[in-house]
Amino acid sequence: MMEFLSIKRALIILIFYFALTLFGFSQEIKLPNGKFGGPFSTISYNKHGSAITFGGGGTFIVKNNSYIGIFGQVMSDIIPRESSIEKYKDFNMKSRFTGFWFGYIKTFNNSPKFYIVTYTKIGFGNVNIDNPNNSIKYYDNSILISPQIEAIYKLSSFLEIGLGFFYDFFTGVSLLSYNNSDFNSIGINLSFRFTKAN
């Protein structure tokens, strides 16, 4: 637990240093999308099966084609990723995270309604297995690092839709007989972005 907390503090300091360095000294450029926020959903897959996650996030700095924001997400029971441990066969594998995301926006002059974003989410939370029938849960704290690439299309002056791919890396997992590799997964992301012009 102490090791996890020290890693968490170091990452928070690194995040704020990165944000100040990247955004504090950059010249502001007016982006076509400005600040944005909205819901997203993902379908991910690993050796234990598929899962659906719901979440949302928003940016609070958009400068020089880069941005920083916050997000939150939780894995649902809609498609249960069932535990492979014999004693816990009636439990589902899940996760819950909140944190920061950093991204870069690549626009195209000949396609003003289309652009590409690459970003990384760094989340603090836990992985867990729970039994939805009797509210029993076992969990372990973890840090999520999730690099992503997403294609965005502008539907209107205030709404954009995105489709992308990601890989979730989990760190520090020691839950029963599970480790990081049991939660690491690849997936597809669908997002809706409500924009505010600069």
Per-residue pLDDT of the chain (198 residues; tens, 9 = 90+): 444 444 555 455 445 444 443 443 333 334 444 578 899 999 999 999 999 999 999 987 777 889 999 999 999 989 999 999 999 999 999 999 999 999 999 988 888 899 999 999 999 999 999 998 888 899 999 999 999 999 999 998 889 999 999 999 999 999 999 999 999 999 999 999 998 765
What pairs with residue 49 in β-bridges? 46
Q: Which two tokens stand for residue 23?
A: 């955004």
Look at residue 81 in the predicted model and tell me its pLDDT. 94
Element (H, E) at 19: helix 2-24
What 181-186 contacts at long range (C-beta under 8 Å, 24+ apart), as own/partner pairs, is: 181/47, 182/46, 182/47, 182/48, 182/93, 183/46, 183/93, 183/95, 183/127, 183/142, 184/46, 185/44, 185/45, 185/46, 185/51, 186/44, 186/45, 186/46
Residue-wise over 174-188: b if at least 16 C-beta within 10 A, else e? ebeebeeebbbbebe
Q: CA dihedral defined by 152, 60, 68, 195, rounded to 10 degrees?
A: 0
Terminal C-alpha separation, the chain: 42
User: Residue 85: its pLDDT value, please?
Assistant: 92
- Cα separation, 6 vs 140, in Å, equals 16
Cβ-contact 184, 45 below 8 angstroms: no
pLDDT of residue 198: 54
Residue 86 DSSP SS3: helix
pLDDT of residue 43: 96
Q: List % helix, strand, coil for the chain (3-state, nearest 5).
A: 15, 60, 25
Is residue 11 classed as helix, strand or coil in its secondary structure? helix
- How many whole angstroms from its chain centre is CA 5? 20
Say if residues 10 and 143 touch (Cβ distance below 8 Å): no
- For residue 93, the model assigns a pLDDT of 95
CATH architecture of 2-32+40-196: Beta Barrel (2.40)
Predicted model pTM: 0.79
Chain centre distance of CA 96: 10
